[in-house]
Structure 1
């Protein structure tokens, strides 16, 4: 516990002097602010092209407010881990009584908690999600919270340096924003489950069901089990990879 407290104090000092981390932390709220224009865009599309965007609101909201925060927080986690690698932080920790997996586990827990809060707050700030749906979205946010360390660990594991990490982040970001939304537009419900191998699918699919008044708890349970297992596995991978 003393080691975790020391990690937390160091993180607070880092965020206070790192402008990039501060921008990342407010990023989800910028996504929420962009959703304020969704009704206007919907009305314009209906009047200009006779196209109704309303059936796609859940997909649009999920892309920005359910996937956006985990992607930003995951990128922040990856940059921190790659910076720690450059500074040999994990190597130094190996000569202390702290177990090697403690530090990445701490990082994952903090990022998961921040992401969960960010998802709930950003959905609330959009003005497009009513109170009952927002309440249902709380467990969805927890699933999205688990997604953040999964994405961050993948980015950190694939990039050997911060420059490589930034390149990996672009590829992962494009995949996260596009692939999980594909089933909404092109596939019937039974076939959508094929995308369950993608960790971002579970919080997105759960939100669609919650927003449309459907049964969403199977996707919440599936996401908690799947993303939780991936996060636990990737802690071990990162512990070996970045030391």
Structure 2
């Protein structure tokens, strides 16, 4: 417990020392507050000026906001993992009472918990879609899993923090998943299924429609995330030991 507390204190110091890391935490919350203020104004003006009903697209807009949270937190945790790997902290943890397994549970579990908490805050504060906890909680948890997946991708693909910055920029392609699901034709959009957030984002947007389609996307998302996490975690663990 003391080791976990030390890690948490170290994480907080790193976050508050680096403005970029600090922004990663608070940007989704700030966007949610701005959305709460300006979305109704924008909706009214667009309808008056162009007869355009923005509210019909709120589910798509909300899916982007919910995805942005774990992507930013995942990148933040990815940089921390790269730093800890370079400093030998991960190997050091294997000889402490926490052990390497405990370190992994903390390091990958924390971003999921933070993402879920912030995502609920964003969902409630923005207040642009009907809230249905029974349907939206599983989707929010699945989207939160993008955080450890992003962190693992950075850990296996980047050799240091400089390379990690380049990898993180490439991983921003994940934000295209909701766009593909919303704007492309049904058959073509399935190509975006290689992006993990696609299935969870589609499940969120379909949660306002047919229950069957919602559960289909949700089930595929669960299976896909489990496979990806297993493969990436095994790859990352091998990279640490070698």
Match of 1:236 in 2: 234
CA contact (8 A) 2:82 2:160 kept: yes
Determine the structure 2 residue equivalent to 1:69. Answer: 69
Q: Deviations over 1:55-102 (max 9, x none)?
A: 2221111111x2111101111110110110221112333555765454
Question: How many pairs does the alignment contain?
Answer: 236
Q: Which has the higher contact order (CA 8 A, sep 6+)?
A: 1
Give the structure 1 partner of residue 84 of structure 2: 84
Residue 183 of structure 1, CA deviation: 2.5
Question: 1:113: how far off?
Answer: 1.8
1:156 — aligned with what? 155
Q: Which moved more, 1:73-82 or 1:47-56?
A: 47-56
- TM-score calculated relative to the size of structure 2: 0.85
* Aligned 8 A contact 1:32 1:126 in 2: yes
- Is 1:199 the counterpart of 2:196? The answer is yes
Distance 2:59 2:4 in 1: 38
**Local SS of the residue matching 2:123:** helix
> After superposition, what is the alpha-carbon deviation per residue over 1:16-53, rounded to whole angstroms, capped at 9, x for unaligned?
46314443332321231232222222222333334333
1:115 aligns with 2:112: no
Which deviations, in whole Å up to 9, do the C-alpha atoms of 1:168-204 show, x marking residues without a partner? 212212x12124421211212x554443221011220
Does structure 2 conserve the Cα–Cα contact (< 8 Å) formed by 1:100 and 1:239? no
2: CA distance, partners of 1:46 / 1:207: 25
Provide the rounded CA distance (Å) in 2 between the counterparts of 1:119 and 1:67: 9
| Alignment TM-score, normalising by the size of structure 1 | 0.85
2 CA distance for matches of 1:135 and 1:22? 31
Q: Which runs of 5+ in 2 are unaligned?
A: none
**Structure 1: 5+ residue stretches without partners:** none
Residue 108 of structure 1: how far off its partner (Å)? 1.1
Q: 2:126: which partner in 1? A: 126
Contact 1:82 1:242 in 2 (8 A): no
After TM superposition, which residue ranges in structure 1, 4 or more long, deviate above 6 angstroms? none
Q: CA RMSD in A?
A: 2.4
The corresponding residue for 2:57 is 56
CA shift in 2, pair 1:34/1:157, >3 Å: farther
Residues 90-138 of structure 1, C-alpha deviations (whole Å, 9 max, x = no match)? 233355576545423431112112212221221111111333x344211
